[in-house]
Chains A and B, each alone.
Chain A
């Protein structure tokens, strides 16, 4: 199984500042035939189901604000929120869909400083 490890486990950032969450996979999730990284990011607010933010490591889902961006390749990935808003308080998860069992990172809790 591919193990996904996020860092940090929790993060406190001031409003308007940049937030960065990292995700590392135990093996590459870059599929050579199409040069795509099979990596997604989700946001989960309390009492709600997760919401897809980013897929193919850097493609923003429709309706997701452009302050959210994803980057990285192969085994190392980053989710960046360029200017933190109050509504961004949530837990963020990375997920690989390169192979089953699909696996998630343990989550990063983002709070306001």
Chain B
């Protein structure tokens, strides 16, 4: 059974940093592109970033480019999102998702990031 479990969310001050993790199991992690998608409270879904199966290619939404870094450790079956220079508008539930032909076939339960002073 595919499982994606996010962690690392919490309350952080504007300008601060946070690293999210996503532990994957139930599939061959190293064979799949992975994505982060976020959802602000009461709002819609926004794609944030993706990373190729071997980590050699990454893409970002303009709103996070230069501040967020996606990475992965295939030996540990773990996806990461390093978030720097956080802003109030980054407040959201962050979902880890497994690529399925560029759709999002599997989702974690999400981890809440709150940026507030």
CB distance from B4 to the nearest CB of A (A): 9
Report the interface size for chain A: residues with CB under 8 A from the other chain.
Answer: 21
Nearest-neighbour CB distance to chain A for B33, whole angstroms, equals 11
Report the interface size class on chain B.
Answer: 20 to 34
A49, closest chain B residue (CB): B107
A101-B102 in contact (CB<8A)? no
- Report whether B62 and A101 are in contact in the complex, using a CB–CB cutoff of 8 Å: yes
* Cα of A109 to Cα of B105 in the assembled complex, Å: 21
- Chain B residue contacts of A52, Cβ below 8 A: 100, 103-105
Interface residues of A (CB under 8 A from B): 38, 40, 42, 44, 49-52, 55, 61, 93, 95, 97, 100-107
Interface residues of B (CB under 8 A from A): 35, 44-47, 50, 59, 61-62, 95, 100-105, 107-110
Instruction: List 11 extra interface pairs beyond A50-B45, A100-B47, CB under 8 A.
Output: A49-B95, A49-B110, A51-B107, A55-B101, A93-B45, A95-B104, A97-B101, A102-B47, A104-B45, A105-B44, A106-B44
